[in-house]
Structure 1
């Protein structure tokens, strides 16, 4: 399993637009073989930081999902929310492997 951690710097005045953007991407990840663990938004105090975490069974599965960027109309529409609203100032991705509790 590979987990993508996306660190966002957001415009705090556009939280509603960021939430709309996030809801669209959660559906796209889950629909295309991933497991979205959610977005983590500022809760108390002023902050411009947010996180998203989602996993795919393998890097190859993630790459298949990424191949849809800019091609699939739903992916284009989700990016349009970000681009037209200005809710995301910048972002970066890190790939991690989870160490989960033994069950």
Structure 2
């Protein structure tokens, strides 16, 4: 599994517009075979940072999603919304692999 973590710098006066964008992408990623883990919007602290995380079963599945997304009318509409509203100032995408299973302290071997 591969997880994309996106860190956004958003316009703090346009959080509502960014939330519209976020909700669209949750739907789009899930419809294209991914698992969206949600967007995390400012609440306390920095008012211009937001995060999103979504996973695909493999890098090949993510790459297939990128090809599908580039040709998808809904994706283009979501990008247009972000551009038209100016809600996203910049973003950075990092790929990680999740650790989802817990282990007991005894398994530490100390």
- The answer to whether the superposition gives a TM-score over 0.5 is yes
Structure with greater proportional helix content? 2
Range 68-77 or range 58-67, more displaced: 68-77
Partners of 1:8 and 1:88 within 8 A in 2: yes
1:3 is matched with which residue?
A: 3
1:36 paired with 2:36, answer yes
Which has more radius of gyration?
2
3-state DSSP of counterpart to 1:101: coil
Which TM-score applies when normalising by structure 2? 0.88
CA distance in 2, matches of 1:84, 1:70: 18
**Backbone CA RMSD of aligned residues:** 1.3
* TM-score normalised over the length of structure 1: 0.94
Q: What are structure 2's unaligned runs of at least 5 residues?
A: 104-110
Superposition misfits of 4+ residues, deviation over 2 angstroms? none
| Mapping 1:3-82, distance limit 5 Å | 3-82=3-82
Unaligned runs of 5+ in 1: none
What is the number of residues matched between the two proteins? 103
Measure the CA separation in 1 of the matches of 2:70 and 2:97.
27
